[in-house]
């Protein structure tokens, strides 16, 4: 078994959520949240911000830690057990540009119900629900956008 750790973000700007569409040799097609692998010596928060910027081109700030998802998948030599740490993040604009080198062919900001139904994986839909509820609570309390970390 191979253990792997990634970090990512539920990135929100003006109530809309940033998604990426990945298309890889007709084996993998679907909308996902931005995330990526932790580099040696890197803090999880730094990984999340870096991966969002690399994969989407979006400048985003971490607001709050949301939680962890776990899944496994097979590679020719073994099974990979992956932990993904997720953060609620605020973008500075609607700008996004999908990272072609990682087979992302589209990106964009979507309303919650659209994003929920577009997402390919149920664990990412669950993270989206948790993050969006947190966003709504902060917005109702007039705290959204006032601080980096809550």
Q: pLDDT per position in the chain (150 positions), as tens? A: 999 999 999 999 999 999 999 998 767 789 999 999 999 999 999 999 999 999 999 999 999 999 999 999 888 999 999 999 999 999 999 999 999 998 999 999 999 999 999 999 999 999 999 999 999 999 999 889 765 554
Question: Residue 40 and residue 17: Cα distance in Å, rounded?
Answer: 29
* 3-state SS, residue 59: coil
Q: What Å distances lie between residue 64 and 47, 67, 121, 135, 136, CA to CA? A: 14, 9, 22, 9, 13
Residues near 138 by beta carbon (within 8 Å), at least 6 away in sequence = 63, 64, 144, 150
Write out the CATH class of domain 2-140. alpha beta
């Amino acid at each position: 078994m191979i253990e792997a750790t990634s970090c990512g973000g539920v990135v929100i700007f003006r109530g809309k959520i940033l998604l990426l569409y990945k298309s890889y040799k007709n084996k993998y097609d679907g909308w996902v949240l931005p995330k990526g692998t932790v580099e040696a010596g890197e803090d999880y928060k730094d990984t999340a911000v870096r991966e969002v910027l690399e994969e989407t081109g979006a400048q985003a700030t971490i607001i709050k830690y949301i939680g962890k998802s776990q899944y496994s998948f097979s590679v020719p030599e073994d099974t990979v057990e992956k932990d993904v740490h997720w953060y609620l993040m605020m973008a500075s604009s609607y700008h996004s540009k999908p990272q072609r080198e990682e087979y992302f062919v589209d990106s964009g900001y979507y309303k919650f119900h659209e994003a929920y139904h577009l997402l390919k994986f149920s664990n990412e839909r669950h993270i989206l629900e948790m993050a969006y509820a947190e966003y709504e609570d902060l917005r109702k309390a007039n705290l959204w956008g006032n601080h980096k970390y809550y």
